[in-house]
Structures are given as structure tokens and as C-alpha cells.
Amino acid sequence: MELLEGGWTTLFDYCKNRHRNGIPEGPKTRLLKRLEDILDELCRNGMVHDDFRRANIMLKPGEEEKGVLIDFDWAGEAERVRYPVTRGSRMVGAEPAGLGIIQ
């Protein structure tokens, strides 16, 4: 986060505050391609993020194709990394004591 300077916002806030009717088609296409590339890179390297949501995607209005994924607290090697003990038990797929393997 400290490397993102000047005008960056979460995708959640971007949609809520700037584009209540959705992201315009051109920027949306570029952002989706960028996110697909990020997920493909993680997959090629046998990694998982497991907290992929609008609050963890940062973008800069007008430069949506430069979107970045943040918050790698739950990230790690696929089928080896485990959910943190502090993970809420009400979350979908939660196992006792939050020790489930992230796939």
C-alpha cells in the first residue's frame, strides 16, 4: 500500500463513489484483463490469494489497466497454506479452529 501514491482507491470505493452504474466498458475490459493476468500468474506459480474481493483490488481512475491486488495475508502455496486461526467461523467453508487448507 505504501507504494501506491496519489489517487488510488479500492475497487469497492471506486464503484460506490464514482460509477454507481458500473465501470464504463473500456476501463472495465482493461481492468478485467489485468486481474485475469494477475490470477494467471499466481496460478502458474502454484500460489493462491484467497481474499480476492473488491476491497483488495486497488486502481487509479483513468488508469484502470494498472489495477493491483493487495492484502496477501492469506496468500501462499496452493494446498499448503492454511487459513489463519483468527478467521471467522461463520465464513463459508470454515473448518474448526480455522485450520483449513486453502486450495
pTM of the model: 0.72
Residues 2/9, Cβ–Cβ less than 8 Å: no
Q: Does residue 98 sit within a domain?
A: no
Q: Does residue 78 sit within a domain?
A: no
Q: Does residue 80 sit within a domain?
A: no
Query: Number of folded domains in the chain?
Result: 1
Q: What is the pLDDT of residue 33?
A: 94
Per the structure, the complete domain to which residue 26 belongs is given by 9-73
Higher pLDDT, 18 or 11: 11
Strands (E), the chain: 9-10, 47-48, 57-59, 68-69, 76-77
Q: Tell me phi and psi for residue 91, to 5 degrees.
A: -70, 150
Residues 54/15, Cβ–Cβ less than 8 Å: yes
Q: Does residue 66 sit within a domain?
A: yes
Q: Report pLDDT digits (tens) over 31-63.
A: 999 999 999 998 899 888 878 889 999 988 888
- Average pLDDT across the chain, whole number: 77
pLDDT-derived band at 96 (thresholds 50, 70, 90) equals very low
| 90, pLDDT greater than 60 | no
The 3-state DSSP class for residue 21 equals coil
Sign of CA dihedral 100, 103, 80, 56: negative
